[in-house]
Amino acid sequence: MEGKVKVAFVCVHNSCRSQMAEALSRCLAAEAFDAYSAGTETKPQINQDAVRIMKQLYGIDMEKDQHSKLISDIPQPDIVITMGCNVNCPYLPCGYREDWGLEDPTGKSDEEFIRTAETIEAKVIELKTRILRGIIP
């Protein structure tokens, strides 16, 4: 395969979990894959609780380089990671797909956002390892 693997983190609204995954991937896994996030609908801004928690935990300002995007706004991915939106998860053709089964923390406590961010962090690191080892394309 030419160049780095393209990974798309997909959710319906592309405003919280998928944005967090894109940001953490750019920070923790840039040597393994190019990260994108997208949805079938967009929001006017990224979830402000997610923005605040990501700054607090990782020093990442998601609003600096990211915004809510449609699936049609990103390159064709090699890998699609759905965030846990069950039957409403958008379909996007790819070579490999998995669902991370994360509940949306929107409207919940900071502890839920922190737990979601830490789960995404662990899953991004694990995904990076599998890609670098050639376990998934």
Domain residue extents for the chain:
5-132
Whether 1 shows a pLDDT value over 50: the answer reads no
Q: Any idea what the Cα angle at residue 35 is, between residues 31 and 36, rounded to 5°?
A: 165
CATH of 5-132 among 1.25.40.340, 3.40.50.2300, 1.10.3720.10, 3.40.50.720 = 3.40.50.2300
Measure the CA–CA gap between 69 and 56, rounded to whole angstroms: 24
Of 137 and 70, the structure prediction assigns the larger pLDDT to 70
pLDDT of residue 40: 87
Q: For residue 86, what pLDDT is reported?
A: 62
pLDDT digits (tens, 9 = 90+) for 21-79: 999 999 999 999 999 999 988 899 999 999 999 999 999 999 999 999 999 999 999 99
Residue type, 94: C
